[in-house]
Amino acid sequence: MPFPRSPRRALLPLLLVSALGLSACSGLGTLPIGSDGPTGSATATAAPGGTPGTRPSPAPSSTQAKPAPSSTAAAPSVSAPASVDGRPTVATALKQIPAKGRAPKTGYVRTEVFGAAWKDVDRNGCDTRNDILARDLTAVKYKPGTRECVVLSGALAEPYTGTTIHFVRGQGTSQAVQIDHVVALSDAWQKGAQELTQAQREQLANDPLNLLAVDGPSNARKSDGDAATWLPPKKSYRCAYVARQAAVKLKYGLWMTQGEKDAITRVISSCPTQTLPAA
- Ordered alpha helix ranges (H), 81-225: 90-96, 110-113, 128-136, 185-190, 198-206, 216-222
Backbone angles phi, psi at 227, to 5 degrees: -65, -20
Identity (one letter) of the amino acid at 60? P
Over residues 49-86, the pLDDT tens digits come to: 444 444 444 444 444 444 433 345 566 777 889 999 99
Q: How far, in Å, CA of 274 to CA of 94, rounded? A: 12
Neighbouring-strand partners of residue 142: 151
Q: State the greatest distance between any 2 C-alpha atoms of the chain, in Å, as a whole number.
A: 149
Q: How far, in Å, CA of 160 to CA of 40, rounded? A: 61
279 pLDDT tier (thresholds 50, 70, 90): confident
- Ordered alpha helix ranges (H), the chain: 7-25, 90-96, 110-113, 128-136, 185-190, 198-206, 216-222, 238-251, 258-268
In what side-by-side order are the strands of the sheet with 164-168? Answer: 137-142, 151-157, 164-168
With a cut of 80, say whether residue 43 has pLDDT above it.
no
CB burial of residue 149 (10 Å; 0-12, 13-18, 19+): middle
Q: How far, in Å, CA of 132 to CA of 212, rounded? A: 7
Over residues 248-278, the pLDDT tens digits come to: 999 999 999 999 999 999 999 999 999 999 8
**Cβ-based neighbours of 144, under 8 Å, separated by 6 or more:** none
**SS3 (DSSP) at 77:** coil
- Quick one: pLDDT at residue 166? 98
Q: What is the DSSP string of 205-222?
A: HH-GGGEEEEEHHHHHHH
Over residues 111-146, the pLDDT tens digits come to: 999 999 999 988 999 999 999 999 999 999 999 999
Range 202-217 average pLDDT: 97
3-state helix, strand, coil in the chain (%, to 5): 35, 15, 50
Over residues 154-207, the pLDDT tens digits come to: 999 999 999 999 999 999 999 999 999 999 999 999 999 999 999 999 999 999
